[in-house]
């Protein structure tokens, strides 16, 4: 590779970051705020203490799990926007288990993980069925099921699982200590959660790269008709992809209840399902890049509430940074392809 090509490559990688900074700088100035003070606050809010860094790890867990799941559906060319609902379903199943079973931690915690997997898988199955046999585009199938899941959560919190002294938006009563995932020291991070999310991502990476099923999914994603002609059962494999993705998202939801909130709250999915769509897009659908992107997104997530505390700005600046960088990543990629297309017809 020549120096020039290498420089171009670095430029292309940095351009989305630069463009996002320019855009947000402009918006911050418009809001009458000092951009550098804002960025500084986000950085210090994310990294100033070991506790904050542990918080980044806490935010990384659901993003890693959901992104891992979504790599599976994306491989099959499916937009699983229903990850949010699948997270919720996992959280609901886990809460149901905790509410109905009294057992020592050694029993209930492993079961809670299984419950989360099952809950999410069921919700994924539903989206898959609506997509394949109902003929409804998976974006609307997933979205509809997200709203149903969140309505169900509210119903349960204000109905059957209402705390004795009245239901509020802060959720159910806390779980009994036997259903608390152990945490690392005085932080909010759980080693079990971190390990599970790493295993999930590595597992998905291996399955997509090295198994026959992964190959079949990619065949469906590339050209569904051709895959069908070659004898791949497209409906079955698509549904299976939704189930796997749903199970991983459900696990994320389950861990949000047992390791983070230790109860069921109305917004248990916290937008992580939508955010992980951005993660996967920014990773270029490649598992290798997911950890880095997830780390960046989580740092922004942990750091941006400080804008509200210190500068009276809305913390949605965090979301603008995250979505902005993905938008510019897509646009810059398009520019590069357009720019170099004529000179290099078929290489690589």
Partner 1 sequence: MNPLIIETAKSVIASSAPLVFAGIGEMFTERAGVVNLSLDGSILLSAMAAFAIAFLSGSLILGFLGGMLVGMLIALLVAYGAIALKQDQVAIGFVLTLLCADLSSFIGKPFVRKPGPSVPHWPIPGLVNIPVIGRILFDQDVLVYASYAVILVAWVWLFYTQAGLRLRSVGERPEAAFARGIAVNRVRYLYTALGGALVGLAGGGYSLSVKLGWSHRHTAGIGWIALAIVIFGGWHPFRVAFGAYLFGVLKSVGSLLQPGFPNIPTQVFQAAPFALMLLALLLVSGDREGLARRLPKPLRAIVQALLAGRPPAGLGKRFEQG
Contact residues toward partner 1 (CB under 8 A) are: 27, 30-31, 79, 81, 130, 133-137, 139-141, 143-148, 150-151, 154-155, 158-159, 266, 274, 277-278, 281, 313-314, 316-320, 322-324, 326-327, 330-331, 333-335, 337-338
Rg over alpha carbons for the chain, rounded to the nearest Å, is 21
What minimum distance in Å lies between the beta carbon of 321 and partner 1? 9
Q: In angstroms, what is the minimal distance from the CB of 134 to partner 1?
A: 5
| Cα–Cα distance, 141 to 135 (Å, whole number) | 9
Do residues 82 and 142 lie in contact, with contact meaning Cβ atoms separated by under 8 Å? yes
Tokens of 163: 């705390």
When the beta carbons of 132 and 190 are compared against partner 1, the nearer one is 132
- Of 126 and 240, nearer to partner 1 (C-beta) is 126
Residue with Cβ nearer partner 1 (175 or 328): 328
Least distance in Å: CB of 93 to partner 1? 19
Q: What are residue 171's DSSP bridge partners?
A: 168
Query: What SS3 class is residue 222?
Result: helix
Q: Give SS3 for 180.
A: coil
Question: Which residues does residue 168 pair with via DSSP β-bridges, in sequence order?
Answer: 171
Nearer to partner 1, 114 or 136 (CB): 136
Cα torsion through 170, 161, 104, 113, rounded to 10: -80
Question: CA dist 138 to 80, 248, 265, Å?
Answer: 6, 18, 27
Q: Closer to partner 1 by CB, 130 or 189: give it.
A: 130
CB of 347 to partner 1, least distance (A): 18
Question: What minimum distance in Å lies between the beta carbon of 197 and partner 1?
Answer: 22
Cβ closest to partner 1, residue 251 vs residue 306: 306
If we measure between CA atoms, which residue out of 183, 69, 193, 173 comes closest to residue 127? 69
- Residue written as tokens 């026959």? 212
22/331 with CB nearer partner 1? 331
Q: How far is the CB of 2 from partner 1 (least distance, A)?
A: 25
* Nearest distance, CB of residue 326 and partner 1, angstroms: 5
Specify the 3-state DSSP secondary structure of 171.
strand
- Burial of residue 7, with CB atoms counted within 10 A of its CB: 0-12 exposed, 13-18 middle, 19 or more buried: exposed
Dihedral angle, C-alpha 52, 58, 60, 63, nearest 10 °: -140
């Amino acid at each position: 590779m020549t120096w020039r090509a290498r420089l171009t490559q670095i430029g292309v990688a940095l351009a989305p970051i630069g463009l996002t900074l320019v855009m947000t700088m402009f918006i911050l100035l418009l809001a009458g705020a000092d951009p550098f003070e804002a960025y500084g606050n986000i950085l210090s809010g994310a990294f100033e203490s070991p506790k904050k860094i542990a918080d980044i790890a806490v935010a990384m867990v659901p993003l890693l799990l959901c992104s891992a799941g979504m790599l599976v559906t994306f491989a099959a060319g499916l937009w699983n926007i229903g990850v949010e609902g699948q997270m919720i379903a996992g959280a609901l199943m886990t809460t149901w288990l905790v509410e109905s079973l009294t057992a020592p931690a050694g029993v209930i915690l492993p079961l809670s993980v299984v419950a989360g997997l099952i809950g999410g898988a069921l919700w994924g199955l539903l989206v898959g069925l609506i997509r394949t046999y109902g003929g409804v585009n998976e974006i609307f199938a997933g979205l509809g099921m997200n709203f149903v899941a969140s309505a169900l959560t509210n119903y349960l919190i204000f109905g059957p699982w209402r705390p004795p002294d009245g239901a509020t938006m802060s959720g159910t009563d806390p779980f009994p200590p036997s259903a608390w995932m152990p945490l690392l020291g005085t932080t909010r991070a759980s080693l079990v959660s971190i390990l599970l999310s790493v295993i999930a991502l590595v597992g998905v990476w291996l399955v997509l790269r090295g198994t026959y099923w992964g190959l079949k999914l990619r065949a469906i994603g590339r050209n569904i008709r051709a895959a069908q002609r070659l004898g791949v059962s497209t409906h079955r494999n698509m549904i299976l992809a939704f189930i796997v993705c749903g199970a991983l998202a459900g696990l994320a939801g389950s861990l949000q209840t047992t390791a983070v909130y230790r109860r069921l709250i109305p917004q248990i999915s916290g937008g992580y399902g939508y955010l992980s769509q951005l993660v996967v897009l920014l990773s270029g659908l490649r598992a290798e890049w997911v950890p880095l992107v997830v780390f960046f997104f989580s740092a922004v997530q942990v750091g941006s509430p400080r804008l509200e505390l210190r500068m009276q700005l809305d913390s949605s600046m965090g979301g603008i940074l995250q979505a902005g960088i993905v938008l510019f990543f897509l646009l810059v990629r398009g520019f590069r392809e357009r720019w170099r297309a004529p000179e290099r017809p078929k290489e690589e």
